[in-house]
Amino acid sequence: MVGCYANGAAAVIMKTASSARMDPCQTNDGRHCLIDKYGFWAKSSFNREIMSLDEGLKELKNYPKSSLFGYMPVITSVTELELNPEKWLAGCQAMEEAGADAIQLDLFYIENLLTIPDFEAKFTGLLKEIITHTRVPVMPKLNIGLPAEYAAYLLKKAGVTYVSLLDSIKSPAPLCFTPECQPLVNKTLLGPGLSLFGSFMLPITRYYTQVLCREGFKVCAGGGVKTAEDIAGLLFLGAETVQIATEFILHGFEHIKELNNRTDELFEKAGLTTPEKIKETGRNLYEPLKKAVTYRTQMKAQWNIEKCIIGKHPGDCYYCAHNSGHANGQAFCERIQYGALKTITIAENCEGCGLCAQLCPHDAIEMVRAGS
């Protein structure tokens, strides 16, 4: 927490705490990690990843509430393994009494939420109970176990204002192949307790952010965030704030300061110096096109004979036409045809989707305004 504060974090979310403990014989100790092209894999036990409630309270009480330089709000995170209001509320009230500025409800560790009998009533009842009997802001932390639209419906029904996004995704261990092409799985990553973090999560986070912000919730967005552009995109979608975790785990506390500075520079260059301007820009950016706009006919593909290599080095050609006559033709668009003497023709009814221009490795197809 001190490291986050020293590097300019606006607030910190503590490691999750719980009154629940797993039997040591049901869980293995230690953490196992792997970084590959998909992201950051981590396997650990519940007892290692989740502090006991007493440990969480001790950490919170040890954090200096005031200093000569100011104070950073602390959001405590609480979880349980079932939707028992008494257990959740006891943990939340203890954290509030110890000085928490807000409380995150970490729902990640309840398996198969939607299969719980009478789930909707139990879930909304739990949230109402906690919100009614705590004074500080309370924000459930969502994961893909709750679809975005259904989550919005439930949270609104429970009277929730604040929402936190998006937890890691549980996934089987990654498969690789030996030099002899034999399939191989990292044995230390087998079994329960495996999560995958990485930039692949960002589109999912963006979707949840858009849905929940449109429904009026105050969203703390996170999940897959790596760059200042990622942060800006979530703020444009309506997020009140953006959290990072994996990035500063991998790159250190100073990465918080670097991302803050880059994001500030990005907004300053765009002339967006206040949260109100950022939100207004986001609304304009993501407003649907008006029906009068004939978007599909604004652009069309155009062949550039100088850059095309079909007549020069056919072995390097992508073969973009629908009826290419070549065994390795892509055949993705019937609007493109091969003509005589190694030429290409693009029909006038080209829809302007831009796929051919993006796929051609030689930039031999470019998009131009229709009629130009």
Domain parsing of the chain, residue ranges: 2-285, 296-369
State the amino acid at position 339 in one-letter form: G
Separation CA 204–CA 29 (nearest Å): 31
How many other C-beta atoms are found inside a 10 Å radius of the C-beta of residue 182?
8
Query: From 3.30.70.20, 3.40.50.720, 3.30.950.10, 3.40.140.10, which CATH number describes the 296-369 domain?
Result: 3.30.70.20
What is the reported pTM? 0.88
Are the CB atoms for 196 and 186 separated by under 8 Å?
no
* pLDDT over threshold 80, residue 322: no
Residue 251 in tokens: 């790159």
How many other C-beta atoms are found inside a 10 Å radius of the C-beta of residue 366?
14
Tell which residue, 239, 231, 237, has the closest CA to residue 286: 237
Can you tell me which residue has the tokens 């079909």? Answer: 310
pLDDT by residue (tens digit) across 13-44? 999 999 999 876 555 567 899 998 888 999 98
In the three-class reduction of DSSP (H, G, I as helix; E, B as strand; rest coil), residue 246 is classed as helix
| Residue 265 φ then ψ, to 5° | -60, -40
pLDDT of residue 291: 63
More confident site: 68 or 101: 101
Separation CA 51–CA 314 (nearest Å): 62
**What CATH architecture does domain 2-285 belong to?**
Alpha-Beta Barrel (3.20)
Half-sphere exposure of 126 (CA within 13 A, CB side): 23
Q: Do domains 2-285 and 296-369 have the same CATH topology?
A: no
pLDDT by residue (tens digit) across 199-258? 999 999 999 999 999 999 999 999 999 999 999 999 999 999 999 999 988 999 999 999
Half-sphere exposure of 199 (CA within 13 A, CB side): 8
More confident site: 106 or 65: 106
Separation CA 195–CA 45 (nearest Å): 11
Q: How far is CA 212 from CA 106, 120, 154, 235, in A?
A: 17, 18, 11, 13
pLDDT of residue 297: 53
Separation CA 71–CA 113 (nearest Å): 37
User: Concatenated DSSP letters for 6-18?
Assistant: HTT-S-EEPPPEE
